[in-house]
Each structure stands twice: as structure tokens, then as C-alpha cells.
Amino acid sequence: MIDLRSDTVTKPTPAMRDAMANAEVGDDVYGEDPTINRLEARVAELLGKEAAVFVTSGTLSNQLAMRIHCEPGDMALMHPDGHIAMNEGGGAAALAGVSIGALEGDGGVFGPEEVDAAMGVHHRFNPPNHSPLPRVVCVENSHNGGGGVAWSTDQIDAVTASATRHGLSLHMDGARLWHAAAATGDDPSRMVRDFGTVSVCFSKGLGAPMGSALVGSAAMVLRARRFKQQYGSGFRQAGILAAGALYALDHQRDRLVDDVTNARRFAEGLCSMPEVAVDLSRVHTNIVRFRLETMEAGTFVDRCHGKGVHMLPGVNSGVRAVTHLGVSATDVDAAIEVVRTVLSTG
């Protein structure tokens, strides 16, 4: 089975399992797990920030960010297809009392004009206390819903400058920041320079079984630790998991460029089929989103599955395919042939 559903399906390699089995551990609620402490210091250093906190998932990391940037009644501004807006079970509203303000943009990328417009028009007949208070701008990089689009440094700088001008704070959902860096060649610490907090994941394409980190100033991370505990996610001897994440950072990050190359190879293969609509200009990283002109997406993915290729169906006959550690160039070529067969035989 060639599994292109998501890069979250990657599994720990034998060497990662060894590192996990031999990890030094301690009680993390007391700050005594040496492997977690090492992971947190390493991620903070990689991203040029003061501190980091290791958490279970990208969802928790984002939700902690919502809670520490905002108070109930505040508004977080982001693209409406963003993971925080659409895929975290309404957590921003449920856990932090935060509403979402939409910043539209192609492929998940919005500009300073959208941030300016979201601030509203203040006049004595239109007092600001009528509206939720915009508090934080969230950038998702790469943008999953947008087809894995990676933001350029110029696009990032334009938005961070506008947010700063309005006194807004900044959070980056960098679940696939490593993929964006692999695609653009930019240094991750430069990409996140102006963000108060950044969430990064170790379980997307890197082989680690789980785990994410929220990174930022020492004060922000201390505040996040309070809510991590409040949400019932205090860790004890989780250094076993941190060892997997450390191994992933040190050994599996450099190969993400292969996933970027393989995703492009898959997208280019699809381009030769008249039944498929794929926008190559949006294929920046390891995600390929395409639409089918002649078949419903659910039927298509079922038929591909029957021939050994797993993909995810979406709305409007949309399909998502994601490359990762478990997918080779040969697998990509085989997957292209399966798609061709399924579409040509109906």
C-alpha cells in the first residue's frame, strides 16, 4: 500500500526506536526529564527563541497559543481554511473563548491589506466595544488547506509589519515549518523572527510517533505551561517520546527536500491527465491538492485504494496526496499509473 493520505502516517525507524528505548527520563512536571529539557532547548535554539514547551500535538500547541495570546471575547485573525479555524474541533471558541476573524487569500496566504481591513473602522458612531477585539494574527506555514503553499519571507514580513503596526501579536502554526524551509531554503529562525509564538510538529513526515512544541519568549512559554497543566496534559517520564522528536530533528529533517521533489513529480504526472485539474504553482512542499473533472472524489479514492494507493477525498471533487518518509520516487511513479488506470477505466 502506498499511503499518500498524510505525512502523519510515518513510523519510527529502528534507529529512532533505539534512541527512544534508551532515553534518560524523569518527572517533567518537576522539570526533571533531561531528554525533554534537551528537546525544548534544541527547538528554541533552532527557532531563535528563548524557550519551548513539549506538548502532545499540534492541536494542543495551537490551542495553548490561542489561550495565551487572547482573553475570552478576543478575536484571532487567520485564513478561514486554516487548521485552527477548521480542524481543531472549535477549540479556540471552546477552550479560550476566542472567535475567528477571516483573512482571505490565495492558497492560505493573505496580505497586510487584509489585516488592515480586519481592524475595522473606528468612529464615535461605530465604537470598538461593539466588536470582538482583534488580538493575534495567525500564519500557517506551509498552508495545508491551501495545498502546502510556503510563504515567502517578503509575504511574512509584510503581514508581521502590519500586525505590529496595529499592536497585534503573532502566532505561526508551523506544523510543517520544516517542509516550508526545505522548499524555500530559508532559515526557520528567520521565517519566525517576528512571531511571539510558533508551533512546530515532530509527527509530520519526520517519523516521530507524536509531539509538538510551542516556542516563544520565556514569559509566554511559562504561561503556556500553566494552561498545558490545566488542560490535563502535564507529562511525567515522556522523555521516551522527546527522544523520538530529537532523533527526528537531527536525522530526518534534511531528507524533507526529497518529499518536496516527490510531490512535484506526482503533480507533474497528474498534469498529463485531462481528467485532473492541478495548479502546479501551488505545489511548493509535500502536499498536492487536485480536483477531478470526471469522477466523484470518494469513488476515486476507493478505486485507487483497491489498487494499492491511499489518498484523502475532500469537498468539490478535491483530493489530497501527501509525500513523506515512507514514499519513494518509485512509489510516486506507481501511484501516477494507478490514478491513470482508475480515471481511464472509470
Contacts to ligand PLP by CB under 6 A: 8, 57-59, 62, 83, 140, 144, 173, 175, 201, 203, 212
Please report the beta strands in the chain, taking only residues with DSSP state E, as ranges in sequence order: 2-3, 51-55, 74-78, 99-102, 133-140, 169-174, 197-201, 212-216, 276-278, 287-292, 309-310, 312-313, 318-322
Q: Which helix (H) or strand (E) holds 160?
A: helix 153-165
**CB closer to ligand PLP, 184 vs 339:** 184
User: Minimum Å distance from CB 144 to ligand PLP?
Assistant: 4
* Amino acid, single-letter form, for residue 220: M
- Nearest-CB residue for ligand PLP: 58
Tell me the C-alpha distance between 259 and 310, whole Å: 17
| Cβ at position 58, least distance to ligand PLP in Å | 3
- Is the Cβ of residue 63 or residue 119 nearer to ligand PLP in the bound state? 63
Q: Which of 295, 323, 294 is nearest to 310 (CA)?
A: 323
Closer to ligand PLP by Cβ: residue 119 or 286: 286
CB of 199 to ligand PLP, least distance (A): 7
CB of 268 to ligand PLP, least distance (A): 24
Contacts of residue 247, Cβ cutoff 8 Å, sequence gap at least 6: 15, 16, 19, 20, 207, 208
Query: Assign residue 320 a region: left if phi > 0, alpha if psi is -120 to 50, beta otherwise?
Result: beta
- Give the residue with the Cβ less far from ligand PLP, 59 or 169: 59
Smallest distance from ligand PLP to CB 186, Å? 18
In the complex with ligand PLP, which residue's Cβ is closer, 198 or 309? 198
